[in-house]
Amino acid sequence: MMALNALGAMKRAYDTKQLRDQIARIESTVQALGARIDQILDISVMAAFEHLATADRATNDDFRRQELNLARGKFVEMTKRPTESMAHPGEQDLSAQQVTAIGHAGNFSYFMMNGEVSLALLEAYRCTERFPALGVQLFPKAVFSRDYSATGRAMVARRASRDRVRANHEASLKAHQADRGAYYRELAWKVPAAGAVFLGFLAAGMVAPPLAGQAGARAAGILAGTGDRAISDVPGPKPKLNYDSNAIDPPEEIELMRQASAESAQRRATLERSV
């Protein structure tokens, strides 16, 4: 099988540098997506990979085995324990499936370091099935029917662009809400004050008629010129969330990632029957 041969060749050269490259790709993808995975899972993903790197450098077999087991435990925890907070994620969060996929990516490294190529390949497919935009970047293109990696990178980059637009939009919404609040707080005292002045001048006009003619002008003066802003200074419309067309994933790329996921699921099922 071409995929197993590709990983077999990779295993012979799998070292600390390749492991750290994989960690960097996972970290950059997660950061580009705007997610804080350590906070989501309440475990340190980077620490898990550090256990693998330490195991790779270890000269004592018992110590190496201990470090590998520590890493393995964390990765299994990721694949089995998506948190409740991930049940209904927003776009800026990782889904439970994506969190699980990162655990499978860690398991891939664990099995590669132990020379278990078939088990590593299973984990590569499980990762890509759940999080294709990550998997197609992490694993050799020979494990798939085609090279999907450029599409995966592009989709992650566009997602990061949407996250930036959304963050700016949220800041604009907060500013708009603060502006509206200030405006209506101003009205809360201005309108009663203007009404009181208006009625007061009308009442005074019963004694001094010229004062009645000033009632409207005096009330309008309070509304227009007293305090921080005029009553006519109405806040603008609520800011809208508008994405640039370049930040939207083209349908054909969405379809490619769907294909990568479906292909991985199919290959994973085939491989599970043989190992």
Task: Give the pair of three-digit tokens for residue 214.
Answer: 């000033």
Residues 180 and 237 in one domain: yes
Burial of 7 by CB count in 10 Å (0-12 exposed, 13-18 middle, 19+ buried)?
buried
| 160 is a domain residue | no
Q: Which stretch of 140-154, 209-223, 236-250 has the lowest confidence by average pLDDT?
A: 209-223
Residues 116 and 185 in one domain: no
pLDDT in tens, 157-190: 887 787 778 778 888 889 888 888 877 777 777 7
Q: How far apart are the two ends of the chain, measured CA to CA in Å?
A: 13
Residues 57 and 138 in one domain: yes
Looking at residue 253, its amino acid is: E
Answer whether 215's CB lies under 8 Å from 197's CB.
yes
User: What is the count of structural domains for the chain?
Assistant: 2
Residues 138 and 224 in one domain: no
Residues 101 and 235 in one domain: no
| 155 is a domain residue | no
Query: By percentage, how much of the chain surpasses pLDDT 90?
Result: 20
| 46 is a domain residue | yes
Q: Is the pLDDT of residue 268 over 80?
A: yes
Task: Give the pair of three-digit tokens for residue 62.
Answer: 């018992």
Residues 15 and 63 in one domain: yes
Residues 40 and 135 in one domain: yes
| 93 is a domain residue | yes
Structural domain span for residue 236 = 168-243
Residues 108 and 132 in one domain: yes
| 267 is a domain residue | yes
| 152 is a domain residue | no
Residues 66 and 86 in one domain: yes
6 — pLDDT class (breaks 50, 70, 90): low
3-class DSSP state for residue 229? coil
DSSP 49-85: HHHHHHHHH--SHHHHHHHHHHHHHHHHHHHH---GG
- The residue ranking higher by pLDDT, 135 or 114, is 135
Answer whether 148's CB lies under 8 Å from 132's CB.
yes
Residues 128 and 19 in one domain: yes
| 157 is a domain residue | no
The CA distances from residue 272 to 6, 11, 118, 266, in Å, are: 18, 20, 9, 10
| 58 is a domain residue | yes
Q: Is the pLDDT of residue 15 over 80?
A: no
Instruction: Please name the residue ranges forming H helices in the chain.
Output: 2-12, 16-32, 37-41, 45-57, 61-80, 96-113, 117-130, 132-138, 149-204, 209-213, 215-225, 251-272
Task: Give the pair of three-digit tokens for residue 144.
Answer: 């798939």
pLDDT in tens, 46-84: 788 888 888 888 889 899 889 989 989 888 888 886 544
Residues 268 and 230 in one domain: no
Residues 236 and 263 in one domain: no
257 — pLDDT class (breaks 50, 70, 90): very high
